[in-house]
Amino acid sequence: MKPKHLVTLQDLDRGAILQLFRTTAELKQQRKAPSKPLAGKTLGLLFQKPSVRTRVSFEVGMGQLGGTSLYIGPVELQEGKREAPKDMARVLSRYLDGIVARTFRHSEVEEMARFSDIPVINGLSDTSHPCQGLADLFTVQEKKGRLQGVKIAYIGDGNNVCHSLMEGCALLGVHLSVATPKGYLPDPVVARWALQQAKKSGARIEFTLDPARSVRGATVVYTDVWTSMGQEQEKLRRQKAFKGFRVDSAMMKAAGREALFMHCLPAHRGEEVTDEVMDSKQSIVYDQAENRLHVQKAILLSLLKK
Ligand code: CP
Ligand code: NVA
């Protein structure tokens, strides 16, 4: 299955993800090998929200593959209010070879993909972060040497990162236990899709309000910020609601000595995770961040190389 765009992980199937992982492993081994498969290609990075990892890893990755990239930021995009996503997609299709879009509304990435003649990659929307989900699962496979039999405990907000993890785990047959406070559960539409896929792949996807139950027997404990970009006005309410969901040493101990800690970053240290856990030997957050580069190079090759 070769998709034209990457809007969510629902655009991929198990075979396509495993193929991407094989290419990722090769690219990671070759590092900056002087082959230029994307020479002459230009990638546009349309970002309504701030970014460090996504922007830098796409720009550097595109350069390593021989192409160039250009950044169009929040000032030009004005939260998508300056022009309709479909107009932008049609115009940019005349200049560029690919688009990475980071938007508030997920529907804007969908609209761009629908009207674009060139591949559109979701670089994070309010409901999805597929590049992150791929890098996360590649990292788990790299660290553990397998995905089967792995249990990921996702502790925190049922947000964009959680949704992509749910989709990826469902496709690849990974056991995922999502623990959120009441009122912060993942989108039921995504949950339904993941549960349906899980029946085919053999994945176990569970939802609970009890983090202790999630982390029991977990291979990986994963968390993300309680307040995502665009939700800043809910910060105080969220801090109260997520009490008991901070990943600390006691929670990691409950998971077991072998458990790894993951976070998509940026982290709000002292909020969803303690310094002690972030800086512990169990933490693989920087390897995880590095893998964004390698996985996205594989995505770029699969979508942009003719
Ligand atoms: N994890 C992630 O997407 O980081 P940025 O927001 O810095 O791109
Ligand atoms: N859930 C976070 C992820 C940042 C990479 C956000 O949307 O802000």
What is the atom index within ligand 1 of the atom nearest the CA of 289?
1
Domain residues for the domain of 110 are 9-129+292-304
Ligand nearest to the CA of 125: 2
Which residue's CA lies nearest to atom 7 of ligand 2? 228
- Cβ–ligand 1 distance for 160 under 6 Å, the answer no
CA end-to-end span of the chain: 15
Question: Which three-class secondary structure state does DSSP give residue 258?
Answer: coil
146 and 218 assigned to the same domain: yes
User: Model confidence over 232-280: pLDDT tens digits?
Assistant: 999 999 999 999 999 999 999 999 999 999 999 999 999 999 999 999 9
Q: What is the mean pLDDT of residues 207-236?
A: 98
Q: What's the CATH code of the domain at 115?
A: 3.40.50.1370
235 and 274 assigned to the same domain: yes
DSSP 68: E
Question: What are 95's two structure tokens?
Answer: 């200049």
The answer to whether residue 180 is domain-embedded is yes
The answer to whether residue 3 is domain-embedded is no
User: Model confidence over 22-45: pLDDT tens digits?
Assistant: 999 999 999 877 689 999 999 999
Query: How much is the pLDDT for 75?
Result: 85
190 and 201 assigned to the same domain: yes
Residue 14 to residues 1, 60, 201, 255, Cα–Cα distance (Å): 9, 27, 9, 28
115 and 170 assigned to the same domain: no
What is the atom index within ligand 2 of the atom nearest the CA of 54?
5
The answer to whether residue 280 is domain-embedded is yes
Contacts 24+ apart (CB under 8 A), 277-283: 277/247, 277/248, 277/249, 277/251, 277/252, 280/249, 280/252, 282/252
Q: How many domains does the chain have?
A: 2
Q: In what order do the strands lie in the sheet with 42-47?
A: 68-72, 42-47, 98-102, 120-122
122 and 210 assigned to the same domain: no
Choose, from 5, 264, 294, 296, the residue flagged as catalytic: 264
Closest CA to 148 of 295, 18, 289: 18
User: pTM to 2 decimals?
Assistant: 0.97
> What does the chain come to in residues?
306
With a Cβ cut-off of 6 Å, ligand 2 is lined by 124, 159-161, 224-225, 228-229, 264
141 and 77 assigned to the same domain: no
150 and 262 assigned to the same domain: yes
Which residue's CA lies nearest to atom 4 of ligand 1? 53
Summarize the chain as % helix, strand, coil (round to 5): 50, 15, 35
Q: What is the mean pLDDT of residues 210-214?
A: 98
Determine what percent of the chain is predicted with pLDDT higher than 70.
98
